[in-house]
Amino acid sequence: MGQLRLSGVTKSFGTAQVIQPTDLEIEDGEFVVFVGPSGCGKSTMLRMIAGLEEITSGTVEIDGKVVNDLAPVKRGISMVFQSYALYPHMSVYENIAFPLRVAKTPQAKVDELVGRAAKVLKLENRLQHRPGALSGGQRQRVAIGRAIVREPSVFLFDEPLSNLDAALRAEMRVELSRLHSQLGNSMIYVTHDQVEAMTMADKIVVLRDGLIEQVGSPLELYHRPANRFVAGFIGTPN
């Protein structure tokens, strides 16, 4: 579970084509990082995969099934955003459980899933707190917990750490990598931060102006950048 295939995917807003025809394959369990300058189409790409944005042409397949017409909640995907809204009046437990409440999941199953997420995210001792009593990093973990309980086969992260300070960002990077190895599902992580891309990715997708410039492992991009843009962006001498 967790294979993703984009074939000839494009996106236009009015007359502006912001995603050029894109083909991309993501293997089961891969940690893929989308990197590129602001405005190159990273968020649009994620939102199309998640089903939050209609694609203009092409197909999106998840685990071998075309999902173009499938509602976001039916795609087996969870997305974590840069600005995550927690409910201030609810406990951490209820914030994490929220999608399960919406889905009318039985209480025993809610306990099991929230408990498991809290363990992975080291929030076991914070479940009865309100979000206001947590640190920035803990709050971000609650937002991730809310995504985990839906047991997605693909996890999408859109610049989830950009509101955190540098030290916390470094810590969360390590935690996300650990989370990935524990959960074993595919992750697509969007960032404009080259260091994050180079340290976290199995595979990096470099985007520019709605086009994929190169796809490869951090080492491949470092040693064999396809062009000056990639070399400049990844920071290799070329």
Binding residues for Mg ion, rule: CB under 5 A, are 43
Q: How far is the CB of 124 from ligand ADP (least distance, A)?
A: 34
For residue 87, the partner it binds in Mg ion, ligand ADP, none, with Cβ less than 5 to 8 A by kind, is none
Q: Which of 130, 98, 102 is nearest to 114 (CA)?
A: 98
Question: Do strands 16-26 and 57-62 pair parallel, antiparallel, or not at all (unpaired)?
Answer: unpaired
CB-based contact 45:215 (threshold 8 Å): no
At closest approach, how far in Å is the CB of 197 from Mg ion? 14
Collapse the DSSP code of 108 into the 3-class scheme (helix H, G, I; strand E, B; otherwise coil) and give the result. helix
Q: How far apart are CA 181 and CA 169, in angstroms?
A: 19
Kindly tell me which of 18 and 231 has the beta carbon lying closer to ligand ADP: 18
Binding segment for ligand ADP (CB under 6 A), chosen from 32-40, 66-74, 118-126, 181-189, is 32-40
Q: Which is nearer to ligand ADP, 86 or 190 (CB)?
A: 190
**Distance, CA of 165 to CA of 10 (rounded, Å):** 35
Smallest distance, ligand ADP to C-beta of residue 204, A = 15
Between CA 77 and CA 50 the distance in angstroms is 6
Nearest CB to ligand ADP, comparing residues 24 and 40: 40
**36-55 binders of ligand ADP (CB under 6 A):** 36, 38-44
Answer yes or no whether residue 75 interacts with ligand ADP by CB under 6 A: no
212, 22 contact by CB (below 8 A):
yes
Query: Where on the chain is the footprint of ligand ADP (CB under 6 A)?
Result: 13, 18, 36, 38-44
